[in-house]
Amino acid sequence: MFEFCEDPSALETARWFACYLTNGVHFRFYQSFLTVLLLLAITAPVALVFGFAGAMASRSHVAPLRWIGKTYTAMVRGVPDIAFFLFFVIALDQALEWLAHQAACPDWTDPIRQGANFIVCDAAKIPQSNAPQWVHEAYNFSIAVFTFAIVFGAFAANVLFGAMRAVPRAQLETGEAYGMTRRQTFWRILVPQMWIYALPGLSNLWMILIKATPLLFLLGVEDIVYWARELGGSRTSQYQYPHPDWRLWYFLGLLVFYLGMTRISEILLGRLTRRLSRGQATMAGEDQRKAVA
């Protein structure tokens, strides 16, 4: 990075740290922060969509749809995250490869399961085994997003389901009195008003999602906790920058990062609560109305 980094062992402390903190492996550490933020940015809306679909299905008048919605929320919420992550990801990966295998290699005669091995033909490998490393990483990342979205979608579905029932019945009756159809009442009256009831539950989920990101490493994505442990471990002079066990400092850095994320989230969620309370038949909405009047 800097020109004076040629021989780290000869540097005084400040320069040594300037070089140490900008070496290649630290850039991979910094990149992993972006990975985590990207995961949050993609997963949160996708999980919300899953949750919304789940909640809609759960209150559907069509019985099979309702069963699907109820089963989804009950099952996924009941399984421990770590078990779900280990089981579901392997199962999903193998299911995709099995489907690709059926399509790509119909002439294959060997069994796919041979003891512990899961063997499909090379054309059915997802991603292709000769694909560049970034394709493998992107694939792992998308699987991670999908899995996180399913898990957190189930919790969101329950939160939204409750929020939909919390909207005062009188509001919906008014809509019906104006001759709106069921669908119109749902989209024009129920959905715009339910968010304020859903927000406390959803904000909990968001906080839990932030904390759950270290599960990424289970899915083969190198996240910030992995790198903190890796970089903090003691280094012999085999490395350019030998140092004793510094894991404490790296984990302290993570602590600051997570607390910072929490603080930013609180501020934004506070603003969102004020915005959504506007004109609502809730105590916060009533206070706002009085303040203006």
Partner 1 sequence: MKNIILSATLLAMSAGAALADAHSVVRMGTEGAYPPYNFINDDGEVDGFERVLGDELCARAELTCEWVLNDWDSIIPNLTSGNYDTIIAGMSITDERDEVIDFTQNYIPPASSLFVALSEDADLEGGVIAAQTNTIQAGYIAETGATLLEFATPDETVAAVRNGEADAVFADGDFLLPIANEDADLMVVGDPVQLGGGVGMGLRETDTELREAFNAAIQSMKDDGTLNALIIEWFGEEAATF
Among 49, 123, 267, 268, binds partner 1 (CB under 8 A): 123
Size of the residue set binding partner 1 (CB under 8 A): 40
Question: Is the bond leading into 64 cis (omega within 30 degrees of zero)?
Answer: no
Q: Which is nearer to partner 1, 90 or 256 (CB)?
A: 90
Q: What share of the chain is helix, strand, coil (3-state, %, to 5)?
A: 75, 0, 20
Among 122, 266, 286, 287, binds partner 1 (CB under 8 A): 122
Question: Is residue 24 part of the contact set for partner 1 (CB under 8 A)?
Answer: yes
Question: Is residue 116 part of the contact set for partner 1 (CB under 8 A)?
Answer: yes
Euclidean distance between CA atoms 118 and 111, whole angstroms: 9
Minimum Å gap between C-beta 50 and partner 1 is 27
Question: Is residue 109 part of the contact set for partner 1 (CB under 8 A)?
Answer: no
Euclidean distance between CA atoms 293 and 291, whole angstroms: 6
Whose structure tokens read 């792992």? 140
Question: Is residue 255 part of the contact set for partner 1 (CB under 8 A)?
Answer: no
Among 14, 114, 290, 291, binds partner 1 (CB under 8 A): 114
Minimum Å gap between C-beta 75 and partner 1 is 24
Q: Which is nearer to partner 1, 15 or 229 (CB)?
A: 229
Q: For the chain, first and last CA: distance in Å?
A: 60
Minimum Å gap between C-beta 248 and partner 1 is 11
Structure tokens at 110: 């060997």
Q: Characterise 179 by phi-psi region: left (phi > 0), alpha (psi -120 to 50), beta (else).
A: left
Euclidean distance between CA atoms 252 and 208, whole angstroms: 19
The full length of the chain comes to 293
Interface positions, 189-248, toward partner 1 (CB under 8 A):
217, 220, 222, 229-230, 233-234, 236-242, 245, 247
Question: Is residue 105 part of the contact set for partner 1 (CB under 8 A)?
Answer: no
Question: Is residue 2 part of the contact set for partner 1 (CB under 8 A)?
Answer: no
Minimum Å gap between C-beta 133 and partner 1 is 6
Euclidean distance between CA atoms 121 and 263, whole angstroms: 50
Residues that bind partner 1 (CB under 8 A): 23-25, 27-28, 90, 93-94, 114, 116-120, 122-123, 125, 128-133, 136, 217, 220, 222, 229-230, 233-234, 236-242, 245, 247
